[in-house]
Amino acid sequence: MQRDYPLERMRNFGIIAHIDAGKTTTSERILYYTGMIHKIGEVHTGETTTDWMEQERERGITITAAAITCFWNPTYQRGLKDAAGKDDVSQKVRFNIIDTPGHIDFTVEVKRSLRVLDGAVVVFDGVAGVEPQSETNWRYADEANVPRLCFINKMDRMGASFEKSYKSILERLNKNAVRFQLPIGTEADHHGVVDLLRMKAYTFSGEKGIDIIESEIPADMLEDAKKYRAEMIEKVVETDDAAMQNFLDGKEISIDDFKKVCRKAVIANKIFPVFTGSALKNVGVQLVLDAVVDYLPSPLDMPAIKGIDPNTGAEIARHADDSEPFSALAFKLQNDPFVGQLTFFRVYSGTIEAGTYIYNSTTGKKERLGRIVRLQADKREEVKKVFAGEIAAAVGLKDALTSHTFCDEEKPIILEKIKFMEPVISLRIEPKTKADQEKMGLALRKLGNEDPTFRVSSNQETGETIISGMGELHLEIMVDRMKREFTVEANVGKPQVAYRETILGEAEAEEKYVKQTGGKGQYGHVKLNIKPMLPWPEGEKVPKNVSNYDDFRFINSITGGAIPGEFIPAVEKGVHEAMDRGILAGFRLVNIECELTYGSYHDVDSSEIAYKIAASIAFQAACKRAKPVILEPIMKLEVVCPEKYMGDVIGSISSKRGLIEGSEPKGMNLAIHAKVPLSEMFGYTTDLRSMTSGQGSAQMEFDHYDVVPKNVETEIIEKKK
Ligand SMILES: Nc1nc2c(ncn2[C@@H]2O[C@H](COP(=O)(O)OP(=O)(O)OP(=O)(O)O)[C@@H](O)[C@H]2O)c(=O)[nH]1
Ligand SMILES: [Mg+2]
């Protein structure tokens, strides 16, 4: 079976932005203009295609990233005929698009999407310009090296300003953002855009702006258009020596040559073209799609994906090529209302067919791959075979989790894992009845599998179940989903900060656990050394005697069989369990390197359980002497309010152990930036509202964990008792 689309005519891209910038509204237009849907649904009526979850439709926000496939024939190809006299669709491109949420609590969706996408369209609210989540998502895209186009949306809104928004991109995101268009008219009068490359004006008419009308640039805009065109060309040719030389020689660059040079520059993250319009008023979206075709990379433009050969530990690479060994990354699990469990994966190399077995190199297990589907709006299209560079979803896989690698069993590779943030907030959850109790475990496990930033733990002493996540809204949605999708009724406690514990010093401890009880006794003896964990040196291979986790490292330095090899995993397990229990106030210990340096054994009495207990006791004893401290999440806070409330707002932040970092004008308001401990911030939005007569708003995002002051530590420990 052949692939239906050549790699160079595929674009995998995401739509990312701050909350409410218009990503879903834009995605819905894309589905309409590409003919995937015949009626546009709006966010405010809860009828869009990509916001399909009940909670999304009710609240008008995106919660989970939705992947959709569609096909686009660039507008500049329209009306062209091929050699046979038929419509020329030689440039038609397949889009795999992911509409992501903007709310910080669901930021995991942006992170994992960017990992498997080749490009992104970053949407901005034309009134607000760059907002906190625009910055965060831009940073994620930087980390993932994803080329970007910018779309300044909502130009129809009162107070919209293309120039101000563009300036905020230059100042806060990247100075290589370049105007490729200008809006025609703003606010209620906004109705078209000027394309600076073609030097034409475009307006949109017909049903939902489906017809694109080209005309001359309005006379009063010509001057600006010429100026900004020159600026655009100069910025772009600067990235290419040959083009620069021609430019200096005074030669006019052709549209095609400009596109070629620009494409290279965008893919190299040297240029970020800026477009504009209004998704809601159907202005400009089609031209952004043309730009996706012209400037964003196909899988062929991306560097080979790197991974580790699990047999040798050596770094190996796979190219976007159907003839290479199969490799793919699972990036998202979703319980689909129509077909059940879906595992989304991106194929990096080779191909895979439905009805065969898929090898998971992360678990070392094989599973039958029954069906593969691609999501096209609300249809699920069955596909027989998936090729390099494609994104699809497997139906019904049981063992695969986010970040797992699928590959050719004969030519194994493990791709780099997606790094997720740690949950900062948690609450106690209690099933209402015995029947709920049984269902709750299963429901929480499923939800946790879908979302790596949602964690479930149980306190063995109290029997309590604790769920943790990224914020109050995150946990609220999860509890709501548990009720509706799994019909589990539960009582929930108040949200609490997810504290952690760690050590600042180094210590050693030894424990000999011996029990003589008539028959076979117990014997386990270990000596441990612990210290704060430093990052593993980049590029250095992890030796066999080291288990390296994100926040814990275990080194087995036993030589000469002082402890038989079969008991070492029990020692590690004992340490793990002790870490989960914490040392000061029962919060999980993190960032510790633990070295097993010495021990002994007994021919008859040694057992796994004895080593586990000995290790737990020794580890806790060592922690007590290694300057243990409690860590708390510190949040990055932005408060936007009229200037006259500045004094009150700053006062309130300071009284919450906050650190003011600065302020800047933002439209008619002032934006105040600060770092504040999360524990002080519950209910802050309400306080702020009353402090500013409803005119202030706050945005918060996790920044880092920091040691709590001694007096606060005492308070936390007291409370725990
Ligand atoms: N005036 C105006 N409103 C718009 C425009 N685009 C979107 N909106 C409105 O802005 C609100 C948010 O739009 P969405 O498309 O849900 O924004 P989003 O970026 O997907 O939001 P999240 O996914 O929740 O982060 C909705 O009420 C839209 O109707 C636009 O171009 N102009
Ligand atoms: Mg949305």
pLDDT digits (tens, 9 = 90+) for 648-694: 999 999 999 999 999 988 777 889 999 999 999 988 888 888 888 88
Which ligand gives the minimal distance to the CA of 25? Answer: 1
Q: Which residue has the higher pLDDT, 599 or 83?
A: 599
What CA–CA distance (Å, rounded) separates 581 from 461?
A: 10
What CA–CA distance (Å, rounded) separates 571 from 530?
A: 14
- What tokens were used for 14? 């995401």
Q: What is the pLDDT of residue 25?
A: 95
Which ligand gives the minimal distance to the CA of 123? Answer: 1
Whether 23 lines ligand 1, by a CB cut-off of 6 Å, is yes
Q: What is the pLDDT of residue 377?
A: 63
Nearest to 675 by CA among 700, 641, 709: 700
Query: Which of 16, 24, 25, 104 to mutate to test ligand 1, by most ligand atoms within 8 A of the CB atom?
Result: 25
Confidence tier at 283 by pLDDT (50, 70, 90): very high
Which ligand gives the minimal distance to the CA of 30? Answer: 1
Residue of minimum CA distance from atom 32 in ligand 1? 154
Q: How far is the CA of 47 from the centre of ligand 2 (A)?
A: 12
Q: How far is the CA of 396 from the centre of ligand 1 (A)?
A: 34
Residue of minimum CA distance from atom 14 in ligand 1? 22
Residue of minimum CA distance from atom 11 in ligand 1? 20
Whether 17 lines ligand 1, by a CB cut-off of 6 Å, is yes
Whether 595 lines ligand 1, by a CB cut-off of 6 Å, is no
Residue of minimum CA distance from atom 24 in ligand 1? 61
Residue of minimum CA distance from atom 2 in ligand 1? 154
Q: Check residue 8 and report its DSSP letter.
A: G
Whether 179 lines ligand 1, by a CB cut-off of 6 Å, is no
Q: How far is the CA of 75 from the centre of ligand 2 (A)?
A: 26
Length of the chain: 721
Q: What is the pLDDT of residue 142?
A: 93
Residue of minimum CA distance from atom 21 in ligand 1? 20
Nearest to 153 by CA among 129, 180, 189, 178: 129
Whether 157 lines ligand 1, by a CB cut-off of 6 Å, is yes
Whether 209 lines ligand 1, by a CB cut-off of 6 Å, is no
- Ligand 1 atom closest to the Cα of residue 281 is 31
Q: Check residue 215 and report its DSSP letter.
A: E
Whether 25 lines ligand 1, by a CB cut-off of 6 Å, is yes
Q: How far is the CA of 24 from the centre of ligand 1 (A)?
A: 7
User: ∠ CA(48), CA(53), CA(59), 5° rounding?
Assistant: 75
Q: How far is the CA of 126 from the centre of ligand 1 (A)?
A: 11
- What tokens were used for 166? 């563009």
Q: Which contiguous run of DSSP H or E holds residue 177?
A: strand 177-179
Q: Which residue has the higher pLDDT, 280 or 376?
A: 280
What CA–CA distance (Å, rounded) separates 272 from 376?
A: 29
Q: What is the pLDDT of residue 378?
A: 66
Residue of minimum CA distance from atom 30 in ligand 1? 154
Q: How far is the CA of 397 from the centre of ligand 2 (A)?
A: 28
Query: Which of 31, 43, 105, 162 to mutate to test ligand 1, by most ligand atoms within 8 A of the CB atom?
Result: 43
Confidence tier at 517 by pLDDT (50, 70, 90): confident
What is the average pLDDT across 356-364? 94
Whether 125 lines ligand 1, by a CB cut-off of 6 Å, is no
Q: Is the pLDDT of residue 78 over 90?
A: no
pTM: 0.86
Which region among 214-218, 514-518, 579-583, 607-611 has the lowest average model confidence (pLDDT)? Answer: 514-518
Whether 652 lines ligand 1, by a CB cut-off of 6 Å, is no
What is the average pLDDT across 247-265? 95
Whether 713 lines ligand 1, by a CB cut-off of 6 Å, is no
Query: Which of 45, 204, 280 to mutate to test ligand 1, by most ligand atoms within 8 A of the CB atom?
Result: 280
Backbone angles phi, psi at 680, to 5 degrees: -90, -5
Coil, strand or helix at 467: strand
Q: Is the pLDDT of residue 151 over 70?
A: yes
- Ligand 1 atom closest to the Cα of residue 18 is 25
Whether 56 lines ligand 1, by a CB cut-off of 6 Å, is no
With tokens 């097993």, the residue in question is 596
Coil, strand or helix at 46: coil
Q: Check residue 300 and report its DSSP letter.
A: G
Q: Which residue has the higher pLDDT, 342 or 668?
A: 342
Cβ-based neighbours of 369, under 8 Å, separated by 6 or more: 352, 353, 354, 355, 356, 357, 358, 394, 397
- Ligand 1 atom closest to the Cα of residue 279 is 31
Tens of pLDDT, residue by residue over 24-35, are: 999 999 999 998
- What tokens were used for 607? 């057992």
Q: Which residue has the higher pLDDT, 696 or 647?
A: 647
Q: How far is the CA of 61 from the centre of ligand 1 (A)?
A: 9
* Pairing assessment for the beta strands 192-195 and 181-184 based on DSSP bridges: antiparallel
Q: How far is the CA of 100 from the centre of ligand 1 (A)?
A: 13
Whether 104 lines ligand 1, by a CB cut-off of 6 Å, is no
Is residue 574 within 8 A of residue 612, CB to CB? The reply is yes
Strand ranges in 78-176 using DSSP code E only, listed in sequence order: 93-99, 119-125, 148-153
What is the average pLDDT across 250-269? 95
Whether 20 lines ligand 1, by a CB cut-off of 6 Å, is yes
Q: How far is the CA of 102 from the centre of ligand 2 (A)?
A: 7
Q: Is the pLDDT of residue 80 over 80?
A: no
Q: Is the pLDDT of residue 379 over 80?
A: no
Whether 15 lines ligand 1, by a CB cut-off of 6 Å, is no
Nearest to 397 by CA among 472, 340, 320: 340
Tens of pLDDT, residue by residue over 197-233, are: 999 999 999 989 999 999 999 999 999 999 999 999 9
What is the average pLDDT across 144-148? 95
- What tokens were used for 660? 């003011």
Q: Is the pLDDT of residue 79 over 90?
A: no
Q: How far is the CA of 23 from the centre of ligand 2 (A)?
A: 5
- Ligand 1 atom closest to the Cα of residue 100 is 23
* Pairing assessment for the beta strands 490-492 and 697-707 based on DSSP bridges: unpaired
Q: Is the pLDDT of residue 500 over 70?
A: yes
What is the average pLDDT across 536-541? 83
Range with top average pLDDT, 41-55, 149-163, 509-523, 547-561: 149-163
Confidence tier at 351 by pLDDT (50, 70, 90): very high
Average pLDDT for the chain: 92
Q: What is the pLDDT of residue 30?
A: 95
Q: What is the pLDDT of residue 32?
A: 93
Q: How far is the CA of 19 from the centre of ligand 2 (A)?
A: 7
Query: Which of 24, 51, 108, 131 to mutate to test ligand 1, by most ligand atoms within 8 A of the CB atom?
Result: 24
Which ligand gives the minimal distance to the CA of 134? Answer: 1
Confidence tier at 52 by pLDDT (50, 70, 90): confident
Whether 19 lines ligand 1, by a CB cut-off of 6 Å, is yes
Q: How far is the CA of 342 from the centre of ligand 2 (A)?
A: 21
Q: How far is the CA of 254 from the centre of ligand 2 (A)?
A: 38
Whether 280 lines ligand 1, by a CB cut-off of 6 Å, is yes
Q: What is the pLDDT of residue 49?
A: 86
Q: What is the pLDDT of residue 461?
A: 61
